[in-house]
């Protein structure tokens, strides 16, 4: 038996497909690709697969992850080629890595996510939003109301922003945001807080959100740093306090 982590992209019209449909899509693709996937035991067996935190409907990504257990395989390259041969346009397997015994599942290992965000062409603000967004992020606290299963609670978004940089030429912002089981900050909530600070109405549909990658936390002695799940290079290392 082998435990695998798959990195895949989600672009084009398929970005409007929700997480549950993406799960069903992969289940069918695995069967079509004739992958020797492991099934759970019991009255209703299902494929042993799990995903990292779901992507919001309408967002695109080059860094989505799925864990899968297979009974047998030729190689990770063979699994990737088999799946890509049956994939529809919009989803592509970018890399596969074999997990070690004891490695956390993608869902629980997720610690942060990198996003690139811009306004859609028809919804660009008629003011210097980058300058005002910089001013907004410089505040000591960034309060917001976050929906939970039990209702709403007030949170401070500031500690959930690990890094931020602006691409003024392309009028976009790159954000490193917390994305763990303890604290997750979605770009839409941050931009809503920004618009609220300007007494403006915000709709998630006016921004184009692209998830660049998902990261895990590594601790070595007194040092902590964040690395992507797969294809971790030194330049991808992001230190945290």
Report domain extents, the chain.
2-103, 108-240
Residue 168 confidence (pLDDT): 86
- Block mean pLDDT (10 aa), the chain, length 241: 93 91 94 93 88 91 94 93 93 92 85 94 92 94 84 89 91 93 90 95 94 88 81 58 56
Residue 103 confidence (pLDDT): 82
CA atoms of 239 and 218, how far apart (whole Å): 9
Residue 236 confidence (pLDDT): 63
Crossing angle of helices 187-197 and 129-137, in 10° steps, is: 100
* Secondary structure percentages of the chain, helix, strand, coil, to 5: 25, 40, 35
Pick the CATH number of 2-103 from 3.30.420.40, 3.40.50.720, 3.30.70.580, 3.50.50.60: 3.30.70.580
């Amino acid at each position: 038996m082998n435990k695998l982590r798959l990195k895949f992209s989600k672009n084009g019209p398929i970005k409007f497909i929700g997480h549950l449909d993406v799960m069903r899509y992969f289940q069918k693709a695995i069967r079509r690709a004739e992958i020797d996937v492991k099934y759970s035991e019991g009255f209703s067996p299902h494929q042993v697969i799990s995903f990292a935190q779901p992507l919001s409907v309408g967002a695109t990504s080059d860094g989505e992850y799925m864990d899968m257990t297979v009974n047998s395989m030729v190689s990770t390259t063979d699994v990737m080629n088999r799946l890509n041969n049956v994939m529809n346009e919009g989803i592509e397997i970018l890399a596969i890595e074999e997990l070690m015994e004891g490695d956390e599942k993608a869902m629980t290992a997720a610690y942060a996510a990198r996003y690139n965000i811009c306004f859609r062409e028809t919804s660009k603000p008629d003011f210097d939003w980058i300058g005002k967004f910089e001013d907004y992020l410089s505040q000591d606290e960034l309060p917001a109301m976050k929906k939970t299963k039990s209702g709403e609670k007030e949170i401070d978004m500031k500690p959930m922003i690990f890094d931020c940089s602006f691409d003024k030429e392309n009028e976009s912002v790159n954000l490193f945001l917390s994305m763990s089981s303890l604290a997750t900050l979605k770009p839409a909530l941050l931009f809503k807080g920004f618009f609220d600070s300007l007494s403006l109405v915000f709709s998630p549909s006016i921004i184009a959100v692209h998830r660049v990658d998902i990261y895990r936390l590594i601790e070595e002695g007194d040092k902590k740093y964040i690395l992507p799940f797969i294809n971790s290079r030194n330049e991808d290392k992001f230190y945290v306090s």
